[in-house]
Amino acid sequence: MMMVGILTQMEKRAMTTHRVGTVALAVALGALTQLPLQAAEQPNVLWIIVDDMSANLSSYGETTIETPHLDRLASRGVRFTNAYVTAPVCSPNRSAFITGMYQTSIGAHHHTSGQGELKIHLPPGIRPIPELFQEAGYYTAITGWPNTDRATIGKTHYNFEWNPAMYDGPDWSHRRPGQPFFAQVHLPGGKHRGRSLESFRQISDRVEKLLGSRTDPSSVELPPYYPNDPVLLADWAAYLDSVRLTDRFVGDVIERLEDEGDLEDTVVLFMTDHGISHARGKQFLYDEGLHVPLIIAGPTIEPGQVRDDLVEHIDIAALSLALAGIEIPETMHSRDILAKDYAERTAIFAARDRCDETVDYIRALRTARFKYIRNFLPDRPHLQPNLYKDGKSILIALREAHAAGTLNETQQLLFAPTRPEEELYDLTKDPFEVRNLAGDPKHAAQLKKLRKRMDEWIERTNDQGAESEAMYDSDMASYSARVSANPESAAILNRNIALMKRWAAEGK
């Protein structure tokens, strides 16, 4: 009886695989001899990973725009309302979720590191999960979207050394008939809006042409720590249009799965790599940088679920392995949050370290009610110089508003010349994290409790902390070479690097 069920699935997949088109049953039967029985029973697993986007989806309460394709995906499965990344910037985050490990534990926590002469190698026993899927008989793919030629490898951006052979190709259509796939589709998301007013206009023009309308900047409601500046409003409207475009791309991916007959055998996971790129979002440990959407739908997942418990983005590694029937390594920090015996997390942890040339060292933990942040470099300003961010129109506008003295007390937090060693926020009363309670005697017991919990996490997970001077110099040499063709950018970068070194020498 089991064999009949397997052959039926094999026949269907063989006759709908994109590469081969219509395939005779004999081909499917032949494929059965090439694949282990375990692989034939396993579902496809598809990750859709998006850059620079917070949970601004209508299913998450966003009212300015609608995201029908993602809402439909959520209705088919489970939507997590409290999913958080362990790093609010791309490469540490991606290094973490592809291994199921805290980036601080595997030495991959400094953004775009290991790019120079000195390299980062994973600790013994830690492996990227595509390797585990391959060993279980899966075809492993990674692509961008739209990828019309289906020939381009998608975004990786891992900080450690890895074997490109862990990906069989850029697209799952090249798998053998009946072979299950583990695939990743990577989308630009918030990066669509670019850096300037002109790029804001271009993405909104594109969305209006495709979807029939654009987001009106006057409809945008900014967080209270940002002023209602025309540039910031135009940027946020363009960002919301990039969310709408992302939603359309997700719809295209689902449509392809359906057209090729793979949808009912595929677990689809949607997540972003961190929050919106903004002055208090990307690169920082406030919820604007950490809180992300997480939606999972597919066979064996009950539709219409909403879960409010705390989960970490690295958990997608363990749950994906479990869905495929692959053993989860005992050393992995990731947890199978879909397991029947799963014990809910009572806190999530996150870290911000060097981002490009800008040295930083911050740790945070978040419970359902409180956020605790520890600044290891408190004598530095919140908005340290950074080549990547400082050229954006929104940062230029913010700095101009600060110089003009038009920011209110809450908005001035962005330009604090130093930081408190500790921050504590009551998220039920202060969801925007603007009232630091660390110095309030009424919260001394809570502060002590979370401080101890942070100490324990740092020790338990072997947090590797600050970067060595040699590794910093190695990566900065590589970064300088990449921008050397632009004299203005090169001069800014060299000036910022010199400042980082001077501050370090001063103990700042």
Per-residue model confidence as pLDDT tens digits over 445-468:
999 999 999 999 999 999 999 999
Measured CA to CA, the distance from residue 317 to residue 97 in angstroms comes to 6
Flag whether pLDDT at 436 surpasses 60: yes
For residues 159 and 96, what is the distance between their CA atoms, to the nearest angstrom? 10
Q: Mean pLDDT across the stretch 387-410?
A: 97
pLDDT of residue 17: 36
Q: How confident is the model at residue 355 (pLDDT cuts 50, 70, 90)?
A: very high
pLDDT band at 146 (very low <50, low <70, confident <90, very high): confident
Distance separating alpha carbons of residues 495 and 166, to the nearest angstrom: 39
Task: Look at residues 176, 115, 185, 194 and name the one whose alpha carbon lies nearest to residue 150.
Answer: 185
Classify 68 as helix, strand or coil: helix
Label residue 340 by pLDDT band (50, 70, 90): very high
Mean pLDDT of the chain: 92
Distances (CA, A) of 125 to 101, 160, 315, 331: 12, 14, 18, 8
DSSP string, 351-385: EE--BTTB---EEEEE-SSEEEEEES-TTS-SS--
Q: What is the pLDDT of residue 148?
A: 65
430-455: average pLDDT: 98
pLDDT in tens, 281-308: 999 999 999 999 999 999 989 999 999 9
Q: How far apart (Å, rounded) are the C-alpha atoms in residues 459 and 454?
A: 9
pLDDT for residue 287: 98
Task: For residue 43, give both structure tokens.
Answer: 């579902």
Q: For 52-70, write each residue's pLDDT tens digit.
A: 999 999 999 999 999 999 9
Compute CA 380 distance to the chain's CA centroid, rounded to the nearest angstrom: 26
Q: What is the per-residue DSSP string for 52-71? A: S--S--GGGT--SS--HHHH
Confidence check: pLDDT of 6 > 70: no
What digits encode the pLDDT tens for the residues 245-259? Answer: 999 999 999 999 999
pLDDT of residue 18: 34
> In the structure encoding, which two tokens stand for residue 430, read together?
């202060």
Report whether pLDDT(9) > 80: no
With bands split at pLDDT 50, 70 and 90, how would you rate the model's confidence at 153? confident
Full set of structural domains in the chain with CATH: 35-505 (3.40.720.10)
Structure tokens belonging to residue 434: 């603007």
Least-confidence region, from 35-49, 118-132, 390-404: 35-49
User: Which has more confidence, 310 or 37?
Assistant: 310
> Residue 29 pLDDT > 90, yes or no?
no
Q: What is the mean pLDDT of residues 485-503?
A: 98
Q: Is 301 left (phi over 0), alpha (psi -120 to 50) or beta?
A: beta
Minimal CA–CA distance to 42: which of 129, 134, 167, 126? 134
Tokens of 120: 């980062």
Interval 432-446 mean pLDDT: 98
pLDDT at 303: 97
Looking at residue 4, its pLDDT comes to 28
Strand ranges (E), 379-442: 422-426
For a pLDDT cut of 90, what percent of the chain falls above it? 90
pLDDT digits 0-9 by tens, 188-198: 999 999 999 99
pLDDT over 80 (residue 164): yes
